[in-house]
Amino acid sequence: MKRWNNIIILCTYENLITMYKKVLHEMDIDIDIAYIGNKYRMDMTKLLNHINNFKDLGKDIIITRGFLAQLIKENLDFKVIEISITGIDILKNLCKYINKNLVLGIVECKSFIDTIKPIADLLQIETKSYIVNNIYDFDLCINRAIKENVDVIIGGARKYYDEEFLNKYNINYEFVESSEFSLRNSLENAFQIYDLLYEEKKRKEYMQNIVGFSTEGIIAFDENKNIIELNYIIEDIYNINRKDVIGKYYLHLDSNIELDEIIKTGKSKLSLIKEINNNRVLMNQIPLIIDDNIVGAIITMKKIETIQEDEKKIRTQLNKKGLKAKYTMSDIKGNSLIIKEQKKLASIYSKSDSTVLILGESGTGKEIFAQAIHNNSKRKNNPFVAINCSSYQSSILDSELFGYVEGAFTGAKKGGKIGMFELAHTGTIFLDEIGDMDYTMQSRLLRVIQEREIMRLGDDKVISIDVRIIAATNKNLYKEVENGNFREDLYYRLNILNLYLPPLRARKDDIEDIVAISIKNLNKKLHCNVLGIENKIIEKMKTYDWKGNIRELNNILEKMVSIVQYGKICYNQISFIFDEIDYLQESLKQEISKNKKDIIYQKTLKEAEIILIENALKENNYNKSKTADRLGIDRTTLNRKLSKSN
């Protein structure tokens, strides 16, 4: 596309074309030229229609002269550059009439007359002016000038009259041409307008693209509250066509928009939830301020369901970055009756969205079951987030689970932090070792389960979440409730669907299956090629209680695979490992036995103390002050010991 392709020169006489071609050639510029002539002399409608057709050719700047320039300015949507006539151009025509005692009739548009008349007055040439306002005025003004006995007609529209018309009235016509200087000047003016239009068009294109490709609905209003722009999302929300509302008053579109107040006060209204055509939208209403003047307003809105979809996409992307469960039901090995029953229950639970509580000793595979339930559920393509509640202090666990806003506490990250519950939105959160969570955190968790919403630390905004909770613990939560360490209401909220994972000592027949899959996984992890394991080793493994359960077994296997590396693991290669296990287990038994004795001694001493206090109370007729004196303790200590004995 050539530069200045939106400019066209309209020539009203042939010599003007010749002159423009010469000037354009000298300037090395290519601009389209069209000849108007007098083809439409008596039909202004046809003339204007003919000129307006240049719009379809992409023209929006017209260079022309005199009355035609005025006509286009008043009737058509073009930027018009008028070819001026200079004082030199006029003097060339007027010099011959100095001291001739003649009357000149100036028949032209007002701007032409305003240029010629002062020069004629200066030369003391008498003139009469006849202003042409439309195409029909030319004939009327010529006839009127002739009737008023002017001697010469002067103007810039010679080609509108044929020779026969002028000869009929025996009148001379002095035609004022534009010089090359005027033509060059008109081109320079056109180029300036072109540059301005180009920059305006660029800004408009930028704006239309910003508005058009925005994921939010956008409406722009001017200071009169008329709609000046909107995008396709607004068309969808309001079920309208853009063309039908552009230029209309805002109430024509929506009374939900508080534009009067926005433009009057200059204050924004943010995060408003509105109902529009059965669509719930989040709306922002923002004044447009330039140089402290309110010149309009911008309204943005987005469907709530679209926001939720966006959140889901974000979660999906986060899911790809690691928030993903890798284990499935097929990864749970074992053929014992108890493990088969738990797998069957887990499969049934996976079809539900209810909370699951997994019970079992450390190392029994509680997280594997949690991941398998997630991967067998309708949430499998969404995030799986796991956190060990025993690994954090209460305050840190709070920020990990629920997140925080910037400045919530000393050391808080700039921009804040998203919590585990938000990360798990539309997916599953696994709360491991939940029995170790302190009472305050239990209260916060209970509210999350009840309300399905969280609040970040330091924030005052509530965030709705859609999360399935799977919790796990190696503690007896019912006893923890009895002992006052765990909230009863939270216990019943968690214990809807439950699984009990047996310790390895209760399913020793599964050891062989577990060993086989572990060796396969360890080969990948350690880049080894162990092909199997001697049966004597399996039988030896079945003799242990495995207090660390499957985790302990896997650790021992990793040691064996690391030592052997390839081929079959034979007992004589790793017998020393079992010697170590035997030693550790014997030491553990002795430690347990010692602890039991300590407990017995402690219990005996405690019982003796209680008996002593009860006897002292009886001797002093249950007078606590006398009893305390008798025992050599203060009354507060006595009350404390009595409360512990109850």
Q: What is the location of CATH 3.40.50.300 in the chain?
A: 322-502
Topology adopted by domain 85-177: Rossmann fold (3.40.50)
What pLDDT, on a 0 to 100 scale, did the predictor assign at position 601? 46
What pLDDT, on a 0 to 100 scale, did the predictor assign at position 115? 87
Q: What tens digit of pLDDT does each residue of 552-608 get?
A: 899 999 999 999 898 899 988 888 888 887 777 666 666 555 555 444 444 455 666
Topology adopted by domain 1-83+180-201: Rossmann fold (3.40.50)
Distance of alpha carbon 623 from alpha carbon 6, whole angstroms: 111
Distance of alpha carbon 512 from alpha carbon 204, whole angstroms: 73
Q: What is the location of CATH 3.40.50.2300 in the chain?
A: 1-83+180-201
Amino acid letter, residue 552? E
Q: What tens digit of pLDDT does each residue of 162-180 get?
A: 566 667 777 888 888 888 8
Topology adopted by domain 322-502: Rossmann fold (3.40.50)
In the block, residue with structure tokens 């080894």: 528
Inter-helix orientation angle 66-75/44-52, to 10°: 80
What pLDDT, on a 0 to 100 scale, did the predictor assign at position 431? 93
Q: Are 357 and 481 in contact (CB under 8 A)?
A: no
Q: Which residues of 596-623 are buried (b: 16+ CB within 10 A; e: fewer)?
A: eeeeeeeeeeeeeeeeebeebbeebeee
Q: How far is CA 367 from the centre of its chain?
A: 34
Q: What is the location of CATH 3.30.450.20 in the chain?
A: 214-303
Q: What is the location of CATH 1.10.10.60 in the chain?
A: 591-645
Please list the residues that pair with 530 across neighbouring strands. Answer: 567
Q: What is the location of CATH 1.10.8.60 in the chain?
A: 505-569
What pLDDT, on a 0 to 100 scale, did the predictor assign at position 1? 43
**How many CA atoms lie less than 13 Å away from 195 in the CB half-sphere?**
5
Query: With respect to CATH, is domain 505-569 assigned 3.40.190.10?
Result: no
Can you point out the beta strands (E) in 365-496?
384-388, 428-432, 453-454, 463-464, 468-473
pTM: 0.49
Residue 615 DSSP SS3? helix
Which stretches of the chain score pLDDT less than 70?
Answer: 1-3, 37-42, 158-166, 202-214, 256, 308, 311-322, 410-412, 415, 585-609, 611, 643-646
Distance of alpha carbon 608 from alpha carbon 310, whole angstroms: 68
Residue 406 DSSP SS3? coil
Distance of alpha carbon 497 from alpha carbon 433, whole angstroms: 17
CATH class of 591-645: mainly alpha
Distance of alpha carbon 35 from alpha carbon 190, whole angstroms: 18
Topology adopted by domain 214-303: Beta-Lactamase (3.30.450)
